[in-house]
Amino acid sequence: MAESSGNNNADMAFPSPYLRNPVPFFNSGDDELAYTHLQGSPPSVQQSREGLPLLDEKKVRAAVAELLVFGFKGTSLNRHARSLISMGAGGVILFARNVQDPEQVARLSADLKRKAGNRSLMIMVDQEGGYVQRLGPPFTVIPHARTVGETGDVHAAAAVASVIGKELRAVNIDMNLAPVLDVDMNLRSTVVGKRSFGVNSSLVSEFGYAFIRGLQREGVAACAKHYPGHGDVVTDSHLDIPLLPHGLKHLMEVELPPFSRAVDADVAALMVAHLNVPCFYGESMNWRPASMSKGAIDHLRNVLQFEGVVLADCLEMGAIVRHFSIEEAAVEAILAGVDMLLVSHTKKRQVAVINALVREVLLGRIPFTRIEEACSRIAALKHTYVRFPPPQSDRFEENFWRARVQTIGCKEHHDLMADIVHQAAVESLW
């Protein structure tokens, strides 16, 4: 497998204009913030205790809800989605269950955003390529990351990401939960496999860098995953907590360089995985997965110097629900330094997360400054990448949108993917 050493050239390939934020569309109808008191929590704080500033529950609830990314079933704006948006959720994750065709996805994303009124709502999806792409045909079929890595050409990663970015932007999606930056180095593991660019840390680093630049050049935020590295474990975190037993020296030589390179690429967000990584909590018996570990997040912030949004992998995965209550996991993740929480399926759990965080802030166990810090990072990301939908009455914008949707799955995109698959096949013969 050929390995590329020229990473900076990836920025010069496949040029496209960077989309700046349009003038926001303000919904004339203000959505009333819906909330309910959590049983056992104080209603609203009436007086300061120990010199702490007074906190208003409605203000706290609005800020806390911004940290939640929720998922729902259905292909249109339904009661579940309306309810969570009215509570103030900051983002929505789409799955194949939400998809019929490009025009429907574009309408759904726009309707979700319009429901949020003048509040910015981020829409995200897993569109990695290979067997993890939620938007199937007629969207362009994207090859596995491993196939892209086998070309030996970082420009292939930039080109793939550019196509994905164009098609996501056409349907009003703001963030792609990609690329996978795990180094697939464990032959016994089937957890990551072809989702990884390769078995070499340097190759994964450079291909990840090019992918991020190509995607974000199209105005779509990248979220690199799964920090600190899911490639050398044998347990799937969808089922239980995997163990990553290596010391910090090994991690800094193998697992972490791709994430460091992602920071160099100015990646918008990083997803932290539910991995047991002993080197981040030392001799303490009170171990927590990386997604709930202050040591893991501190390393990301202080050593890798990442300043963007840290997103925890879904809290409904087996790695969490088999060992923790979802409320406990949410609280500890935020205290550890995570900014956004994925709760992808169940409304009851999504509401429970909001209620638990509100309770802990009002009781003083989570400093409100920690919530404000997370909201500030989320706001900065949204300012750069989230687009408000145009007014439905704007004929020009409607025609412009339809023209963009028509480019999805076009011959140019299909031909480019075919060329990349062919190039990978040729390289594998050498």
What pLDDT digit, counting tens, does each position of 86-106 carry? 999 999 999 999 999 999 999
pLDDT of amino acid 285:
54
For residue 15, say if its preceding peptide bond is cis, omega within 30 degrees of 0: no
Answering whether pTM is above 0.85, one says yes
Q: Is residue 190 scored above 50 in pLDDT?
A: yes
pLDDT of amino acid 117:
95
CA 168 – CA 124 distance, rounded (Å) = 9
CA 49 – CA 121 distance, rounded (Å) = 35
Distance separating the N- and C-terminal Cα atoms of the chain:
8
- Choice among 12-21, 47-56, 205-214, 352-361 with the minimum mean pLDDT: 12-21
CA 381 – CA 189 distance, rounded (Å) = 34
Average pLDDT in the 414-421 region? Answer: 97
**Residue pLDDT, tens place only, 32-45:** 333 333 333 443 44
CA 193 – CA 184 distance, rounded (Å) = 6
**Residue pLDDT, tens place only, 224-245:** 999 999 887 877 677 778 888 8
Q: What angle do CA 111, 21, 162 make, to 5 degrees?
A: 85
In this structure, is the dihedral angle defined by the CA atoms of residues 343, 168, 272 and 355, taken in order, positive or negative? Answer: negative
pLDDT of amino acid 283:
60
CA 374 – CA 341 distance, rounded (Å) = 11
Split at pLDDT 50, 70, 90, the class of 53 is low
CA 148 – CA 215 distance, rounded (Å) = 15
For the annotated catalytic residues, the residue numbers are 238, 313
**Residue pLDDT, tens place only, 355-403:** 999 999 999 999 999 999 999 999 999 999 999 988 877 888 778 888 8
* Percentage of the chain exceeding pLDDT 90: 73
Q: Is residue 127 scored above 90 in pLDDT?
A: yes
Total residues belonging to the chain = 430
**Residue pLDDT, tens place only, 274-317:** 999 988 886 655 679 999 999 999 999 999 999 999 999 999 99
Closest CA to 314 of 348, 291, 339: 291
**Residue pLDDT, tens place only, 55-95:** 899 999 999 999 999 999 999 999 999 999 999 999 999 99
Q: Is residue 247 scored above 60 in pLDDT?
A: yes
pLDDT of amino acid 238:
79
Q: Is residue 26 scored above 60 in pLDDT?
A: no
pLDDT of amino acid 36:
33
Q: Is residue 179 scored above 80 in pLDDT?
A: yes
